[in-house]
Amino acid sequence: MKGCPIESLLESLRYLLQEWFVNHINDARATFTILATKQEKKLRENFVESKKMKVSTLSSILYQVNDGCASYLVNMEERTYTCNQFQVDRIPCAHALAVIAKIKEDSYSYCLVFYITNMYIQTYSASIFPLGNYNEWNVPDEVRA
């Protein structure tokens, strides 16, 4: 019996996903930083930029950060910043990092947990198995028709 027409498409997609998972898991296992490579680089770039900023304390959770061009509000409890970069990247922006340095907290605790290398490894550790022989599939009669 000949395979389903969709079988080739599914097998191609499975192969693509399998390659993607293998490449990502290999990248993750070769990473020796706390965050995945791309996110670690972004955090470090933001950190360098944060060194040029001045922080003023407004309350125990609210800070004003001046970057030389404009002022931004940083709410550490809600993790919201008026520059909106954190809400997009889910990595502390330079303004937030300036505050984090002032209050002597760990910048990694403000990063999305899925960017942490160990979590990245877990995400891509699953196996993707081939479809197998079409003749061995358990296809319900209503689908087979």
Per-residue pLDDT in tens (0 to 9) along the chain, 145 residues = 455 677 788 888 999 999 999 998 998 899 899 999 899 999 999 999 999 999 999 999 999 999 998 999 999 888 888 888 777 888 999 999 999 999 999 999 999 998 999 998 998 888 888 877 777 778 788 877 6
Contact 53, 98 (CB under 8 A): yes
Provide the angle, in degrees to the nearest 10, between the axes of the packed helices 94-102 and 37-50: 70
Identify the bridge partners of residue 55 per DSSP, sorted by sequence position.
Answer: 65
What is the pTM assigned to this prediction? Answer: 0.74
Q: How far apart are CA 111 and CA 89, in angstroms?
A: 9
